[in-house]
């Protein structure tokens, strides 16, 4: 196991370098002059441009620029924006909000998705099953921004049950419930269907029959013997989804005005703040890679038949 983890961690290095270089290259090759509009209505003075080119190493070839940037990042220094704000600090302020939002979304999709999946998987064909199938299909086919705006308008503006925006930072948990639902709705539909299939597949398994023949209560047969086996694909899906939720939060954060990394990236792209964008995306890549590794390790814990080494 230890050797496996070490090997996986070593594999992360080339993946990390590759992805971050790609991002760096893409961000700085965005069309448009980063200095347009930075100095009011007139073009920026040459002295300012020269200072900025010096500061961000724009005269160096891209690979060298990237190398200098990475050296700083590895020392914990994410650089500065054009205005001189520390990117590390910006991320430090925004990231907790995104983590909270992603956790709320994950909790919602896990609880509702698992419950609906187990229920329909056990019951089989019938009204409830059809209802869940149709509603999950509906959720899967709706883009997140539609769900987001519809809920914001109906629950926020019309019914006034929720605040339409969550501008506070750090964002209070209770304000994140509806945005979390919006962010997690797509995955919730997937979790439901995954659980349903998994339960329906396993409920006639021999070991379930054995558990019943041992005289165990139905609750225990389902809750321990059946669920433990059926949860393996679901848990791994949830694990990889955490990374995806953080990356996918941009739209939701935009709709509900949550001050997370999504809005940081969005503003960064608009303002051609390459350092900010690269910093945030690099962080997201790290989270994604690590959560994938964690999921692979979790597999071996959940299913003893899987052994690494």
Q: Please, what is the minimum distance in Å from the beta carbon of residue 188 to other proteins?
A: 25
211 makes contact with other proteins (CB under 8 A): yes
305 makes contact with other proteins (CB under 8 A): yes
Only one of the segments 7-15, 142-150, 151-159, 300-308 lies at the binding site for other proteins (rule: CB under 8 A); that segment is 300-308
Whole-angstrom CA distances from 25 to 40, 66, 296 are 28, 8, 30
CA distance 156 to 173: 17
161 makes contact with other proteins (CB under 8 A): no
Nearest to 222 by CA among 199, 239, 189: 199
207 makes contact with other proteins (CB under 8 A): yes
Nearest to 180 by CA among 106, 282, 261, 70: 106
The residues facing 86 across adjacent strands are 80
74 makes contact with other proteins (CB under 8 A): no
Cβ proximity to other proteins: between 65 and 195 the closer is 195
Cβ proximity to other proteins: between 7 and 217 the closer is 217
Binding pattern for the stretch 120-149 against other proteins, x by CB under 8 A and - elsewhere: ------------------------------
φ/ψ of residue 163, rounded to 5: -75, 140
Question: What DSSP assignment string belongs to 104-124?
Answer: HHHHHHHHHHHHHHHHHHHH-
214 makes contact with other proteins (CB under 8 A): yes
Which single residue is written with the structure tokens 């890549």?
Answer: 285
CB 119 within 8 A of CB 142: no
Cβ proximity to other proteins: between 159 and 213 the closer is 213
Reading the block at residue 45, the tokens are 């003075």
1 makes contact with other proteins (CB under 8 A): no
Cβ proximity to other proteins: between 14 and 215 the closer is 215
Cβ proximity to other proteins: between 3 and 305 the closer is 305
How many residues touch other proteins under the rule CB under 8 A: the total is 22
- Answer for which of 40, 213, 270, 309 binds other proteins (CB under 8 A) is 213
CB 154 within 8 A of CB 120: no
CA distance 116 to 128: 9
Cβ proximity to other proteins: between 55 and 220 the closer is 220
Interface residues with other proteins (CB under 8 A) are 204-207, 209-217, 220, 225, 228-229, 232, 302-305
């Amino acid at each position: 196991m230890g050797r496996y983890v070490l090997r996986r961690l070593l594999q992360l290095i080339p993946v990390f370098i590759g992805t971050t270089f790609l991002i760096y290259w893409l961000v700085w090759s965005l069309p448009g002059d980063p200095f347009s509009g930075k100095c009011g209505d007139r073009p920026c003075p040459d002295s300012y441009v020269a200072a900025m080119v010096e500061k961000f190493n724009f005269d160096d070839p891209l690979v060298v620029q990237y190398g200098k940037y990475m050296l700083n990042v590895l020392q914990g220094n994410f650089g500065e924006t054009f205005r001189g704000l520390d990117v590390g600090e910006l991320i430090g302020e925004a990231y907790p909000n995104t983590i909270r939002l992603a956790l709320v979304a994950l909790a919602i999709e896990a609880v509702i998705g698992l419950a609906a999946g187990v229920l329909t998987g056990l019951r089989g064909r019938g009204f409830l099953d059809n209802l869940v199938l149709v509603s999950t299909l509906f959720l899967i086919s709706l883009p997140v921004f539609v769900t987001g705006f519809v809920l914001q308008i109906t629950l926020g503006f019309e019914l006034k049950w929720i605040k339409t925006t969550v501008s506070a930072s750090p964002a209070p948990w209770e304000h994140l419930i509806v945005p979390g639902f919006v962010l997690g709705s797509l995955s919730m539909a997937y979790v439901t269907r995954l659980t349903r299939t998994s339960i329906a597949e396993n409920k006639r398994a021999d070991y379930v029959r054995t558990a019943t023949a041992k005289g165990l209560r139905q609750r225990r047969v389902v809750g321990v013997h059946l669920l433990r086996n059926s949860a393996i694909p679901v848990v791994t899906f949830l694990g990889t989804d955490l990374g995806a939720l953080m990356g996918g939060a941009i739209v939701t954060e935009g709709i509900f005005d949550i001050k997370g990394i999504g809005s940081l990236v969005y503003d960064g792209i608009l303002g051609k703040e390459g350092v900010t964008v690269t910093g945030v995306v690099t962080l997201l890549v790290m989270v994604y890679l690590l959560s994938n590794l964690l999921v692979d390790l979790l597999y071996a814990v959940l299913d003893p038949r899987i052994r690494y080494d």
